[in-house]
């Protein structure tokens, strides 16, 4: 069964565990926290000694030995990727897909510091470029979906938020993503385009954390992706015209140091297939 590394810690690295942030609700999986530098070094050392998850690249030929595909992906891809992971495992007997979901810039930093992974899927091209420019992608990243922002509000919209301008009202508490992560950069772009100045009560490390603030009733509104509103618990979405001005393209790439490059290529092809693109559309993404 496809699993999220953040729930079970990092294989082979004692003490390297996931974020302690409350789950967004409904049993959905949490995004992972940044790994300490010491843990990254340990992971890199382990990767040089043996494949992650055991087995070999040609796992089926090794007596059915289990093999693990490690996918680092933007937090906003959680629901769709988990569904695709389960289907991928059914089509690749003996394979387990292990996810590390977090803010894209956080994951890019982990990869560039040596964390072993097979695939990286980012929520924007700018962050993927930092990995490619460091020589850590194999080949050219390809864009596979697009996402836009919405305003997430608690069900019933108690603060009466009707558009971006309402977020500037000091009586409305707002959570935004930090500008270092793609959802934060997109939020800054649409607010600039609309000429709206917002004083957020919190800046979050990724889009799931911003949405959780709304789900827990800690803020009146948050700027998150449309897909997160659709997947959220007890939230509604308020669309706004400026959203298209900051649509994010999501690229994906096999990593240069992938322990299982052939399996990683299969995953990228699966994500770009017609069947997978239907899963993304159902989740609210725009497909190409």
Q: What are phi and psi of 51, to 5 degrees?
A: -60, 145
Dist CA 167 CA 199 (whole Å): 8
Q: Which two tokens stand for residue 58?
A: 């040609």
122 annotated as a binding-site residue: no
Give φ, ψ of 181 to 5 degrees: -105, 155
Question: What is the DSSP secondary-structure string of 152-202?
Answer: EEETT-TT---SGGGGG-TTS-EEEE-TTSHHHHHHHHHHHHHT-----SE
Residues 82, 191: Cα–Cα separation, whole Å? 32
CB 60 within 8 A of CB 51: no
Residue 207 in marked binding region: yes
225 is in an annotated binding site: yes
- Report helix, strand or coil for 281: helix
DSSP 58: T
Q: Are 136 and 256 in contact (CB under 8 A)?
A: yes
Instruction: Check: CB of residue 126 under 8 Å from CB of residue 182.
Output: yes
Phi, psi of 258 (to 5 degrees): -55, 125
**Residue 76 is assigned to a ligand binding site:** yes
Binding-site residue positions: 76, 104, 207, 225
Binding-site residue positions for molybdate: 76, 104, 207, 225
């Amino acid at each position: 069964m496809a699993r999220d590394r953040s729930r079970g810690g990092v294989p082979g690295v004692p003490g390297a565990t996931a974020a302690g942030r409350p789950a967004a609700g409904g049993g959905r999986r949490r995004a992972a926290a940044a790994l300490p530098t010491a843990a990254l070094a340990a992971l890199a050392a382990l990767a040089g000694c043996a494949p992650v998850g055991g087995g070999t690249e040609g796992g089926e030929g090794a007596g059915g030995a289990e093999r693990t595909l490690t996918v680092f992906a933007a937090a906003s891809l959680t629901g769709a990727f988990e569904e695709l992971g389960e289907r991928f495992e059914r089509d690749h007997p003996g394979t387990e897909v292990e996810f590390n979901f977090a803010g894209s810039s956080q994951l890019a930093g982990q990869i560039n510091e040596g964390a072993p992974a097979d695939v990286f899927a980012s929520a924007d091209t700018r962050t993927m470029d930092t990995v490619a420019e460091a020589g850590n992608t194999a080949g050219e990243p390809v864009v596979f979906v697009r996402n836009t922002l919405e305003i997430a509000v608690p069900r019933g919209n108690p603060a009466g938020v009707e558009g971006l301008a309402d977020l500037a009202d000091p009586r409305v508490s707002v959570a935004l993503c930090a500008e270092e992560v793609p959802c934060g950069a997109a939020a800054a772009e649409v607010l600039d385009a609309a000429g709206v100045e917002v004083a957020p009560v919190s800046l979050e490390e990724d889009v799931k954390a911003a949405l959780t603030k709304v789900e827990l009733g800690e803020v009146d509104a948050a700027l998150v992706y449309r897909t997160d509103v659709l997947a959220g618990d007890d939230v509604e979405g308020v669309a706004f015209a400026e959203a298209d001005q900051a649509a994010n393209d999501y690229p994906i790439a096999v990593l240069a140091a992938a322990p299982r490059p052939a399996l990683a290529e299969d995953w990228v092809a699966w994500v770009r297939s017609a069947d997978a693109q239907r899963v993304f559309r159902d989740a609210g993404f725009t497909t190409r």
